[in-house]
Structure 1
Amino acid sequence: MEALKVLTKVLMFLKNDALKTINVHPACGKFTASDFTWVLTVPADWKDFPKGFMIEAAIQAGLVTEDTKGKLMLVLEPEAALTWCLKLPSDGFFTQNYSRDSQDPSPGPTDAGTSCNDPPGSQVAVHFEKEPEETKVLLETQNRDGKRYLVVDCGDIYINIAVYEVLEGGTLKKLQEAPINFLGGRTVDRKFKQFLEEIFSDGVWKEYEENFSSEVQKMMYDFIRLKQVDEDVQISCPFSLGMWAQRKKKIETFFVSVEGASWDEGVIRISREKLRSFFDESLQGITKSLREELQKDLNIGSIVLVGGFAESQILRQHITDQFGPQYKVLCPLRPQEAVLKGAVELGRNPKLVSSQKKGPACLNWFS
């Protein structure tokens, strides 16, 4: 399908769902799309992104019309996320130490770190030995004019790194942007899938993928949850995979020569060390990109991690280990939601971002 048609259908669904939810409450009255300012978040590499494409999709989806395009805002994801982070109190961030000395933190579920759409305990706020008061001190001073932040937007596909400065009144201005890095969360997913292929050898996994694609998708979805932690994990083996494998040999024998995994009555157990190995390529690439930006001497005070991949404790701890001694490493408890909530803030107050784009194609871009 054409990309424009796909995006239009997605926006139309979200618009209709939002209006349906709002109009459920009779006391609110009846609302239509024209009653709202619509804020669309867009990739950080804006220079390569067709603005007209987003505008046309929004019009076709019924968010705005040709006459009401002024009610459409296009917001860069890192700017939205940083806007939200600057509003958070000290207990709105993960607290972490600056070394690998405490290799065995004691994670536990917390209401503050759990999305309303996630099962209890699926996200974890990790508390290390260092007192959280230090984080509080760091955050109490972060809203001063002139402070600079390196924002690391950790997505499924890409890692985008940009430097922002807080101007007078709290307005954000982008100073620098690194080349886009395609080593996001799916790099880890790919390593996990390669490991499954190593376990279920002799072509078993490839045949299973071809014949049970929906079950493979379910396994990958389950793994997205598992890669948020830094500990031994286990994932249920679909019944069909077990049956498919046993056409070749007993399923236990597939695990005999594989390091880092074991079989336990329908469950695949993966060691902490093996789980961490799935992250190696991605973390090395992110570290390299960050060092290149930090060597430019832009007087950066803090590194802010946002995006869905930043849910990973392994990623957060690695960045803290590598850069914590020199920089403040901050990550909100809900790093993926930061983009959404920051977009709402910018919709309410567009002047929070310094306009760097001019011309009619940009609509009223923060002007």
Structure 2
Amino acid sequence: MASQSVFVVAIDFGTSYSGYCFSLASGTDQIRQVYWGAEHGLKTPKMPTSILFNQKQEFKYFGYDAVMKYKSLPSSQADSWYFFQNFKMQLYNTNVTLGMKLKATNGKFLPALTVFSESLRYMKDHALNTIKEASFQTVYSEEEITWVITVPAIWNAAAKQFMRLAAKEAGIISDMLSRNLIIALEPEAASLWCKQLPHEGFMADSSDKKKFEDSPGIQYIVVDCGGGTVDITVHEIQQNHYLKELHKATGGGWGGNRVDENFINFLKEIFSDGIWDEYAKRHPTELQNMMYNFSLQKCSASREAVYIHCYYNLTRVAGSKKDISQFFENVAGTVWCDGTIMITYEKMKSFFDYSINNIICALREILCKPEMDKVQYILLVGGFASSIILRDAVRQAFSNKYHILCPMEAQAAIVKGAVLFGVNPHIITSRISCRTYGLCVCEKFDSAIHDARKRRVSKTGDFIYCTDLFEKLVEIGESVNIHEAAHYDFFPIEPDQTKLASLNTVVHTTNTIICDLPVTAGKPLDWSLTYT
């Protein structure tokens, strides 16, 4: 946290839903939760991660406003506006570049940096207005607010760095190295929130009444179940109640959106022969309504059949072929029920198979390792963890050995934990390196081990060396203490050498910065590597 900060603002920029919380930097006894959708008859801790630009590519709306405005547009106008949703997934498992573009629902493209930065700008401005109202109109300077933005732990360094750049473009920070912005890993933030919760802070939908112990030596797995990705990390509580990471972050694109995709594919099978494709193309606003209804149903705590309202234009398009009830004949697990599609609980569970199977498989792979023998808890967090189908599956697989816990505010656990992290970012003492880091060096040539094709002689002729060798500094899976510097000495080869390229490397768990470093001929270079 920046030493001058008065407030900490944490932004949970999710694949499906986003929101923010804030508190005074002097303490987190009262974390202010912001609710969304009141003007639309709703009250939710997060809003849809949806953004709308007009025909001139100008930002107009974000969140519920973007969804509702897009839904209200006539089809003739909707095709010329730029509507984006679930776009955060474009940064996962891909080659993130500054010039990358995102595809809107109208098939046209906008720069990814524009979409992300305008989204962050909206939340920044909203947060500043809220803080202004909460602090009796007092206006605080940039240096008096520490911002925290959450990202998946399994994102690569380029994606995490892209979020920092988007924050700069949004006006959250003025330069890339500003200490007023902290990039927080989502499962770590959730872990901080869960470990300080009382027993009553967890859902009581199982016979396991074990309270989570915030005691030194306790080891547990955090499964962050979001809309796009599922992040899995393992933590151990230290003597000072700080956290040590025991296993490198793992996971994949197994979030709640996969369930939505399976539901869509199910409807395509029912309304075949191009009927569904025609409906989706001509009536995107109705489809938005249907999918929003389904997203609420999939995270229900009920083990009963669900009813999805079938909108007018779908019945009209389908009815032009045959009576709509006939589409449901001989379709297992669903029934046409007077204007609604009834889906049995068993059929609903089948939409979760891909996500659940991957989550359970990943957990078993981690837990079978000898070093994980002391793990006692599995914490399920994130909006997708609200689903009783997901929680039941994890309990069935692991409750005989582990205590399965899910916080009451599963969706808000990450953003509230991010506030805690912003107040004390040193609470994470170490992380497991997800990559091997090193640099290119030269060594004295040894014919027994070195490739003769890489043999070189210095300009003075008194030093024979091998070029293009890899000096390993940190190995994948190695535990690295945060903010601890490792020092290395390197010597220039040539007497007139004045620069070593790509040596001043500060390796973050969130980004890597590489630049040239000047050297003095004949003198050793004392170089340090710091992890933050």
Structure 1 equivalent of residue 310 of structure 2: 237
Structure 2 equivalent of residue 143 of structure 1: 214
The Cα shift of 1:30 comes to: 2.2
1:87 is aligned, of 196, 202, 222, to 196
Q: 1:116-135 alignment to 2 at 5 Å?
A: 130=207, 135=209
Letter in 1 for 2:377: S
The Cα shift of 1:52 comes to: 3.4
Q: 1:249-260 alignment to 2 at 5 Å?
A: 249-260=322-333
Letter in 2 for 1:280: D
Structure 2 equivalent of residue 166 of structure 1: 237
What are the superposed Cα offsets for residues 289-343 of structure 1, whole Å, 9 maximum, x if unpaired?
Answer: 1110000131211111111211110000110111001001111112121000000
Q: Is the 2:153–2:249 Cα contact (8 Å) retained in structure 1?
A: no
| TM-score computed with the length of structure 2 as normaliser | 0.59
1:280 is aligned, of 336, 353, 357, to 353
2:282 is aligned, of 185, 208, 211, to 211
> For 2:115 and 2:176, how far apart are their aligned partners in 1?
24
Structure 2 equivalent of residue 78 of structure 1: 187
Are 1:13 and 2:122 an aligned pair? yes
Structure 2 equivalent of residue 200 of structure 1: 271
1:4 is aligned, of 108, 113, 120, to 113
Q: Is the 1:162–1:177 Cα contact (8 Å) retained in structure 2?
A: yes
> For 1:293 and 1:178, how far apart are their aligned partners in 2?
11
2:151 is aligned, of 34, 39, 42, to 42
Structure 2 equivalent of residue 311 of structure 1: 386
> For 2:134 and 2:365, how far apart are their aligned partners in 1?
52
CA 67–50 in structure 1, closer or farther in 2 if over 3 Å, else same: closer
Structure 2 equivalent of residue 29 of structure 1: 138
What is the number of residues matched between the two proteins?
Answer: 329
CA 237–33 in structure 1, closer or farther in 2 if over 3 Å, else same: farther
> For 1:150 and 1:311, how far apart are their aligned partners in 2?
17
Structure 2 equivalent of residue 108 of structure 1: none
Structure having the larger proportion of residues in helix: 1
- Secondary structure (helix, strand or coil) at the match of 1:73 reads strand
> For 1:178 and 1:289, how far apart are their aligned partners in 2?
11
> For 2:159 and 2:316, how far apart are their aligned partners in 1?
48
Range that drifts further, 173-182 or 356-365: 356-365
Are 1:330 and 2:405 an aligned pair? yes
> For 2:531 and 2:405, how far apart are their aligned partners in 1?
26
The Cα shift of 1:2 comes to: 2.4
Are 1:175 and 2:246 an aligned pair? yes
Structure 1 equivalent of residue 9 of structure 2: none
> For 1:70 and 1:208, how far apart are their aligned partners in 2?
49
What are the superposed Cα offsets for residues 108-166 of structure 1, whole Å, 9 maximum, x if unpaired?
Answer: xxxxxxxxxxxxxxxxxxxxxx3xxx52x432xx1111111111111222222111111
Structure 2 equivalent of residue 63 of structure 1: 172
> For 1:190 and 1:43, how far apart are their aligned partners in 2?
21
Q: Is the 1:34–1:64 Cα contact (8 Å) retained in structure 2?
A: no
Q: Is the 1:149–1:300 Cα contact (8 Å) retained in structure 2?
A: yes
Q: Is the 1:19–1:32 Cα contact (8 Å) retained in structure 2?
A: no
Range that drifts further, 293-302 or 76-85: 293-302
The Cα shift of 1:57 comes to: 2.0
> For 1:51 and 1:287, how far apart are their aligned partners in 2?
27
The Cα shift of 1:178 comes to: 5.2
Are 1:246 and 2:319 an aligned pair? yes
- Unpaired segments of 5 or more residues in structure 2? 1-109, 431-480, 484-504, 512-529
> For 2:159 and 2:322, how far apart are their aligned partners in 1?
53
Q: Is the 1:19–1:33 Cα contact (8 Å) retained in structure 2?
A: no
Q: Is the 2:233–2:250 Cα contact (8 Å) retained in structure 1?
A: no
- Secondary structure (helix, strand or coil) at the match of 2:252 reads coil
1:224 is aligned, of 295, 318, 327, to 295
1:321 is aligned, of 391, 396, 413, to 396
Letter in 1 for 2:359: I
Q: Is the 2:168–2:176 Cα contact (8 Å) retained in structure 1?
A: no
Structure 2 equivalent of residue 300 of structure 1: 375
Instruction: State which structure, 1 or 2, has the greater radius of gyration over its C-alpha atoms.
Output: 2
2:421 is aligned, of 314, 322, 346, to 346
Letter in 1 for 2:382: G
Higher RCO (Cα < 8 Å, 6 or more apart): 1
- Secondary structure (helix, strand or coil) at the match of 2:379 reads strand
What are the superposed Cα offsets for residues 209-260 of structure 1, whole Å, 9 maximum, x if unpaired?
Answer: 1211222122111111101233101011111111111110111111112121
- Secondary structure (helix, strand or coil) at the match of 2:178 reads helix
- Secondary structure (helix, strand or coil) at the match of 1:66 reads coil
The Cα shift of 1:198 comes to: 2.0
- Unpaired segments of 5 or more residues in structure 1? 98-129
Structure 1 equivalent of residue 262 of structure 2: 191
Letter in 2 for 1:271: T
